[in-house]
């Protein structure tokens, strides 16, 4: 009986092995799209090709796409000469040439990474089928690929992380970096844009060239991020995305998602979104409109000017500093730092806002008469206030300044931003000149004023007091005349 079982096992192994394993060496990774234009989420993919003459079963194979998890192939057969596209971080229905890894834990690296393919759930030098690493050496599975003779340790394909919408394309069926080239992205052979003559999708207002819009056969939606805008560091900017149909009609459905990437490391979801840029510069904000399996992106440029906040009053012995916002916009100074020389005097808590055309006094301990500086949260100097020159008139309008201290706002070399990316706020709106004050301010905001209610109470009190005086005087006069 044991001999019969052994013979049966050998026969099954002989019959199954050619179909299941003989074609392993015919499967190649041929295309890696890891750096789409704008947002990467839902747009990345990897293409595999069967270069042999027979179909290969990929059931149970695993794909490692640069540290975002392992994709296990379902029951799937890749025909001879055929391609299959594995889409990352997007859901969809698997087909004969398209698979979806929706549960991927992130996006592939733009500047470096590695892709590995295994013919089993067991991953080692005997099951690895193909490998590529880009950007730098030492990526995951490099040593295993070397042991299997699929890669040379230390080799990598050179990429440029700033060069968006480029893909890694295999030009030769060799296991080496020389087989790969970085080329402008084109849709895989089995991905089309239907019969639309404008098959090269362009951003609603910006153009932007060919942008892969995810696994879809017919583009049904487009995105519009809005017009380019400008603002100041610390101020709230408002964004509003629009989903457009084929006829440029506005789509308004509860099933449409709007994903914002503000270009400074922050993201948010919603058709309308607000965002505060902490630092001056030029940013690209991207909105991705998602409806079912379809998605598309558009972008706008955001120029963020320097924060207009100035230091308008200092008393080093009493230990307080007054800052003013001469602009017409409320400004967020969360996490900003106030320093005297190299000593940190004060760090503004999260949620600290300075109202438009307003001033505020911040109390601290006494400090040396050193130049006082305001720094952005990233420690870059925004403003230095010294004690040795009169303050410009534009900075003193509407601001109470201690008479015994003279100081001037001056930009430092460390804060200069390229002229083509930042517009300096050189003409702040003037404020009404207040009445002179000869004493340091104790209140936290502006001068103390008497409200109308207080004035009424004072008037009533004064009337009662005056009436009492008249009454007492009258009684005293009557008594003296009677005597």
Residue 334 is predicted with a pLDDT of 85
What's the average model confidence in pLDDT over 145-166? 89
Q: What is the mean pLDDT of the chain?
A: 74
The answer on pLDDT for 323 being more than 90 is no
How far is 290 from 4, CA to CA, in rounded Å? 59
**Does position 442 have pLDDT exceeding 70, yes or no?**
no
pLDDT at residue 482 in the model: 54
Beta-carbon contacts of 335 under 8 Å, excluding residues fewer than 6 positions away, are 278, 347, 348, 350, 377
Whole-angstrom CA distances from 283 to 230, 259, 271 are 10, 16, 19
- Which CA distances in Å does 208 have to 36, 37, 202, 211, 260? 12, 9, 6, 8, 18
How many Cβ atoms are within 10 Å of 363's Cβ, its own excluded?
13
Q: Is the dihedral of CA 43, 245, 275, 326 positive or negative?
A: positive
Q: How many CB atoms lie within 10 A of CB 235?
A: 20
Closest of 93, 35, 71, 44 to residue 292, by C-alpha = 93
Mean pLDDT to the nearest integer, 291-314: 84
pLDDT tens digits for range 353-367: 888 888 888 877 777
Share of the chain above pLDDT 90, in %: 28
Rounded CA-CA distance 210/38 in Å is 12
Same CATH fold assignment for domains 23-184 and 317-415? yes
308 — pLDDT class (breaks 50, 70, 90): confident
Query: Which helix (DSSP H) or strand (DSSP E) does residue 296 occupy?
Result: strand 294-305
Could you tell me which CATH class the domain 317-415 is placed in?
Answer: mainly beta
Is the pLDDT at 327 greater than 70, yes or no? yes
What would the mean pLDDT of 403-421 be, rounded to a whole number? 31
Residue in 308, 303, 296 with CA at minimum distance from that of residue 425: 308
Q: Which of 140-154, 363-377, 442-456 tops mean pLDDT?
A: 140-154
When pLDDT is cut at 50, 70 and 90, the band that residue 342 belongs to is confident
pLDDT at 115 over 60: yes
Instruction: State both tokens at 405.
Output: 């201290």
What pLDDT is recorded for position 217? 39
pLDDT of 392 higher than 70: no
d(CA 60, CA 72): 6
Domain ranges of the chain: 23-184, 222-305, 317-415
Structure tokens at 406: 């003279």
- Is the pLDDT at 58 greater than 50? The verdict is yes
Question: Residue 91 carries which DSSP code?
Answer: -
Question: Cα–Cα–Cα angle for 11, 14, 17, nearest 5°?
Answer: 140
Q: Between residues 471 and 376, which one has the greater pLDDT?
A: 376
Q: H or E element: which one contains 130?
A: strand 128-134
pLDDT class of 246 with cuts at 50, 70, 90 = low
> How far, in Å, are 65, 101, 199, 218, 290 from residue 196 at the CA level?
32, 28, 6, 8, 20
Phi, psi of 279 (to 5 degrees): -130, 150
CA torsion angle 109 114 117 118 (round to 10): -120
Res 47: pLDDT = 95
Q: What angle do CA 140, 145, 150 make, to 5 degrees?
A: 140
CA distance 268 to 260: 5
Predicted pLDDT of residue 67: 77
CATH superfamily for domain 222-305: Immunoglobulins (2.60.40.10)
Comparing 35-39, 285-289, 428-432, 459-463, the range with the smallest average pLDDT is 428-432
Residue in 373, 355, 348, 372 with CA at minimum distance from that of residue 278 = 348
Residue 20, pLDDT above cutoff 80: no
Domain 23-184 CATH (choose: 3.40.605.10, 3.40.50.880, 3.40.50.300, 2.60.40.1260): 2.60.40.1260
Average pLDDT of the segment spanning 318-337: 84
Distance separating alpha carbons of residues 384 and 310, to the nearest angstrom: 9
pTM of the model: 0.41
């Amino acid at each position: 009986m044991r001999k019969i079982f052994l013979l049966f096992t050998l026969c099954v192994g002989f019959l199954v092995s050619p179909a299941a394993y003989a074609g392993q060496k015919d499967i190649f990774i041929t295309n890696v799209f890891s750096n789409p234009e704008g947002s990467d989420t839902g747009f990345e993919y990897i293409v595999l090709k069967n270069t042999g003459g027979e179909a290969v079963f990929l059931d149970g194979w695993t794909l490692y796409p640069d540290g975002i998890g392992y994709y296990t192939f379902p029951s799937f057969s890749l025909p001879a000469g055929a391609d299959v596209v594995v889409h990352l971080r997007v859901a969809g229905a698997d087909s004969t040439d398209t698979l979806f890894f929706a549960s991927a834990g992130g996006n592939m690296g733009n500047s470096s990474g590695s892709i590995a393919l295994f013919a089993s759930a067991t991953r080692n030098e005997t099951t690895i089928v193909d490998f590529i690493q880009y950007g730098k050496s030492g990526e995951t599975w490099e040593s295993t690929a070397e042991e299997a003779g699929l890669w040379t340790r230390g080799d990598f394909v050179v990429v440029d992380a700033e060069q968006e919408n480029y893909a890694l394309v295999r030009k030769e069926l060799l296991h080496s970096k020389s087989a790969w080239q970085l080329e402008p992205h084109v849709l895989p052979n089995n991905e089309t844009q239907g019969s639309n003559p404008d098959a090269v999708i362009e951003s609603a207002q910006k153009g932007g060239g060919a942008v892969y819009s995810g696994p879809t056969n017919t583009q049904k939606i487009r995105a519009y991020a809005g017009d380019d805008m400008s603002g100041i560091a610390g101020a709230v900017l408002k964004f509003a995305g629009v989903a457009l149909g084929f006829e440029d009609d506005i789509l308004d459905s509860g099933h449409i998602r709007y994903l914002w990437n503000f270009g400074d490391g922050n993201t948010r979801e919603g058709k309308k979104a607000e965002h505060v840029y902490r630092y001056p510069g030029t940013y690209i904000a991207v909105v991705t409109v998602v409806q079912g399996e379809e998605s598309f992106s558009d972008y706008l440029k955001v120029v963020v000017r320097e924060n207009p906040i100035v230091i308008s009053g200092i008393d080093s012995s009493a230990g307080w500093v007054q800052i003013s916002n001469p602009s017409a916009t409320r400004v967020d100074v969360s996490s900003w730092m106030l320093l005297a020389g190299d000593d940190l005097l004060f760090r503004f808590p999260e949620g600290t806002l300075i109202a438009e055309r307003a001033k505020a006094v911040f109390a601290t301990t006494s400090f040396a008469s050193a130049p006082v500086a305001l720094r952005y949260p990233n420690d870059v100097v925004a403003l230095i206030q010294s004690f040795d020159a009169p303050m410009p008139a534009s900075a003193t309008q509407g601001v109470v300044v201690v008479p015994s201290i003279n100081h001037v706002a001056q930009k430092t070399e460390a804060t200069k931003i390229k002229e083509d990316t930042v517009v300096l706020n050189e003409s702040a709106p003037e404020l009404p000149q207040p009445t002179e004050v000869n004493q340091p301010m104790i209140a936290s905001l502006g001068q103390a004023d008497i409200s109308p209610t207080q004035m009424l109470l004072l008037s009533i009190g004064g009337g009662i007091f005056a009436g009492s005086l008249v009454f007492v005087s009258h009684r005293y006069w009557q008594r003296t005349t009677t005597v």
